[in-house]
């Protein structure tokens, strides 16, 4: 069963994979404690820090990062981390973990008083940093994919799309102050079917 939208992304509910995304399997996941999927968490990541288009993020999520490539990699070499999706600055979308599995993206976290957000959330990483604007194509991809996820997992609603900094305050800062939440949310028709609409973004 696939639920589609107008932007060529769809969730296949037989596999819980995103049609339209490149599939690269990460070993860093486990089973959810229940079938609940009710939260979407937005992150940012770049490896090495501040550098893009290195493919190091996917190496990191697959435990294949070479610590000798960069001093920072020595600090994170023993971490086992993943997200469900990565949206690169070019618009390339990669899925690492099926949506029905628990990716290891949120860490110690709490949403509305409920801890362990990995248990019931989907994590999306945007290639970027706290101090650089995201690209237009990233916003459009994120809005389109979020719509597909909301259609497929209806417990995810607009008020249950949040940032890593909101569920881990004081520990995490992403997606950062330059992530334009207003612009992202303006791509949705509020309360009416969750369908994506295209809007023009004001120049920075």
**Hey, which residues are catalytic here?**
125
Distance CA 26, CA 58 (A): 8
Instruction: Using the structure block, give the residue that is written with the tokens 């690269």.
Output: 24
Distance CA 184, CA 57 (A): 23
Distance CA 187, CA 138 (A): 12
Residues 6 or more apart from 179 whose CB is under 8 A from it?
Answer: 42, 44, 126, 134, 163
- Which two three-digit tokens encode residue 5? 């939208």
């Amino acid at each position: 069963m696939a639920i589609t939208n107008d932007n060529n992304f769809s969730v296949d509910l037989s596999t819980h994979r995103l049609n339209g995304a490149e599939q690269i399997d990460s070993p860093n996941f486990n089973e959810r404690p229940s079938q609940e999927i009710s939260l979407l968490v937005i992150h940012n990541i770049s490896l090495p820090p501040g550098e893009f288009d290195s493919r190091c993020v996917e190496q990191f999520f697959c435990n294949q990062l070479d610590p000798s490539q960069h001093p920072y990699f020595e600090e994170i070499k023993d971490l086992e981390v993943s997200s469900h999706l990565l949206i690169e600055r070019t618009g390339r979308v990669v899925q690492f973990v099926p949506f029905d599995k628990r990716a290891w993206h949120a860490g110690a976290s709490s949403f509305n008083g409920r801890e362990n957000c990995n248990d019931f959330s989907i994590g999306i990483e945007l290639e970027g940093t706290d101090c650089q604007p995201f690209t237009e194509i990233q916003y459009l991809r994120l809005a389109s994919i979020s719509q597909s996820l909301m259609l497929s997992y209806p417990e995810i609603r607009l008020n249950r799309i949040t940032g890593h900094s909101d569920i881990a305050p004081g520990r995490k800062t992403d997606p950062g102050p330059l992530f334009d939440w207003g612009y992202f949310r303006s791509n949705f028709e509020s309360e009416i079917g969750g369908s994506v609409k295209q809007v023009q973004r004001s120049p920075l």
